[in-house]
Structure 1
Amino acid sequence: APTENNLPIILALVGIWYNNFFGSETQAILPYDQYLWRLPAYLQQLDMESNGKGATKNGRMVSTHTGPIIFGEAGTNGQHAFYQLIHQGTKLIPCDFIGAIQTQNHIGEHHRILMSNFFAQTEALMIGKTPEEVKRELESAGGKSEDEIQLLIPQKTFTGGRPSNSLLVKALTPRALGAIIAMYEHKVLVQGAIWGINSYD
């Protein structure tokens, strides 16, 4: 694909943008398909071993940060582990959300609900929630005094403007999984080339 349409190159450049210009030191990999539950660990090894280097190919010390710290968890497991840090914390953590449009497991409404969470999380990271929105929600839910509502508003407000990518495949087939892995391998290679390090030595 031409550079402007090449997803691994775009992901590499976006990753460098946040790592080197915004001081983001981490990236979250968040697959919304249980069959990808080990993907964050695989990409952690791929990225951190390949680009976790402090010397260039020429043996000089690098002059900038290289590979980020990669972590993640599948679907709603992560929502109850570290999403609050991503949404409301003081650190900038770019996220890759990975999902499949069609499921391999047709269990009632499960996939529709899971993907609703996928899109709700990325939307919330983008637009946040204002104090006014939180106040309206708490008032309409009822059961809380005005003083209780005022105490809860700062705890439920978040700014938005948090970076995330939404990566969707039609269905999680062997071919789609191979494409996801190849995309990240290419991304790592491009970043290593820009940083002047030998990613796959």
Structure 2
Amino acid sequence: MRLQRCSFDAVPRLEGGQFEALELDECRLPGLRAHSARVTQEFKVTRCTVNGTLDLRSLGVGTHLSLERTTVRPAPGEAGVTAQSVAVDESLWATDLDCAGAFHLNNARVRDPLVLIGSLLGTWPPAPVGGGPYPRFQPVIYTLDLLLPLVDLSQERAYGPSGAMQWVAIVLVGSGWLLATTVAAGAGRILRRT
């Protein structure tokens, strides 16, 4: 079964289902329940936006499980991906997965590579500010944007931290200005000597 560019009003419930192959691509979901489902071949949730939890507990997959380039935003205090006791006979690919909640893999069995390259797990990115459009949140670029005061990488203007992250942002901005002043003072001394 292949679903592409679908938008769901209710959480799809696939618990205990038997599938040959299952693919959700570029879909918008308020969550997904696939607890104890069995997929003979591949199970893909790619390039999707999930505003809830991906419940994959005890899921059995015959070949590959893919969560590539998917964004998961669970309700506050909820896990983003629950994949306890998942059994994947080949590989689990979750490259560029952006998961704001916890990613649980307790007692999981994946025989081949578990790939999480470029993934952002278990952190809540700052909320967008202004009227958009927004660049995709990239934590490393955002940190550099805060730390380098004379460089605009478009992340600081687009996203505003809240709570404890606000204090981290203040420290990074202050450290960036201190670093910039130190470099400028050092450069000034070197130029005066020559």
Q: Give the TM-score range, shorter chain.
A: under 0.3
Q: Normalized against structure 1, the TM-score is what?
A: 0.24
Higher strand share: 2
TM-score (norm 2): 0.25
